[in-house]
C-alpha cells in the first residue's frame, strides 16, 4: 500500500513541478512565441547559409587539390615518357656501337684468316716447288 501512495505522490509531484516550471517559463520569457519562432527561423537560416559556405569552400578546396594532383600526374607521365625515350636512345646507341665492334672484329678475323690462308698457300707452294724442283 505504501508503494502505491509513494507512486501517486511522485506522479503528482512531477505534474506540479512541470506546471510550475511551465508557469515560471511563461512569466520569465521576455518574448512571445511568434518572436521566438522568428528568431529560431533566422538562426536556422544563418546556420544553413554557413553550412552552404563551408560546403562550397570544401568543394573548392577539393577541386583545387584534384587539379593539382592531375597536373602532377601529367608531369610525372611526361617525365617517365622522356626517361623512357632517353633510355631507348641509349640502348639504340649501345646496340649500334656493339654492331660496329662486332663488324670490326669480324673484319679483323677475316683479314687474319685470309693472311693465314695466304701464308698456308705460300707454304704449300714452297713445298710443292721444293718437291718438284729437287
Q: What is the DSSP string of the chain?
A: -HHHHHHHHHHHHHHHHHHHHHHHHHHH--S-HHHHHHHHHHHHHHHHHHHHHHHHHHHHHHHHHHHHHHHHHHHHHHHHHHHHHHHHHHHHHHHHHHHHHHHHHHHHHHHHHHHHHHHHHHHHHHHHHHHHH-
In a domain, 96, yes or no: yes
Tell me how far apart the alpha carbons of residues 48 and 35 are, in angstroms, rounded to a whole number: 20
Is 4 inside any structural domain? no
Instruction: Supply the range of the domain harboring residue 88.
Output: 31-133
- Between CA 11 and CA 14, with CA 12 as vertex, the angle to 5 degrees is 65
The total domain count for the chain is 1
Query: Looking at the domain assignment, is residue 12 inside a domain?
Result: no
Q: Does residue 82 sit within a domain? A: yes
Q: What is the mean pLDDT of residues 4-16?
A: 81
Residue 73 lies in a domain: yes
Instruction: Give tens-digit pLDDT for 44-92.
Output: 889 899 889 999 999 999 999 999 999 999 999 999 999 999 999 999 9
pTM for this prediction: 0.46
Is 22 part of a structural domain of the chain? Answer: no
pLDDT digits (tens, 9 = 90+) for 58-70: 999 999 999 999 9
- Asked if the structure places residue 40 within a domain, the reply is yes
Looking at residues 100-121, what average pLDDT do you find? 89
Closest CA to 35 of 46, 47, 43, 23: 43
Residue 17 lies in a domain: no
Amino acid at each position: 500500500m505504501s508503494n502505491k501512495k509513494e507512486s501517486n505522490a511522485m506522479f503528482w509531484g512531477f505534474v506540479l513541478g512541470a506546471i510550475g516550471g511551465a508557469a515560471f517559463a511563461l512569466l520569465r520569457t521576455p518574448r512571445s512565441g511568434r518572436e521566438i519562432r522568428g528568431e529560431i527561423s533566422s538562426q536556422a537560416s544563418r546556420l544553413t547559409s554557413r553550412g552552404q559556405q563551408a560546403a562550397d569552400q570544401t568543394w573548392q578546396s577539393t577541386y583545387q587539390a584534384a587539379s593539382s594532383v592531375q597536373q602532377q600526374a601529367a608531369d610525372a607521365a611526361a617525365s617517365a615518357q622522356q626517361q623512357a625515350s632517353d633510355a631507348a636512345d641509349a640502348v639504340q646507341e649501345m646496340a649500334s656501337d656493339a654492331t660496329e665492334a662486332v663488324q670490326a672484329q669480324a673484319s679483323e678475323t677475316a683479314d687474319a684468316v685470309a693472311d693465314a690462308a695466304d701464308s698456308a698457300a705460300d707454304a704449300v707452294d714452297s713445298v710443292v716447288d721444293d718437291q718438284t724442283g729437287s
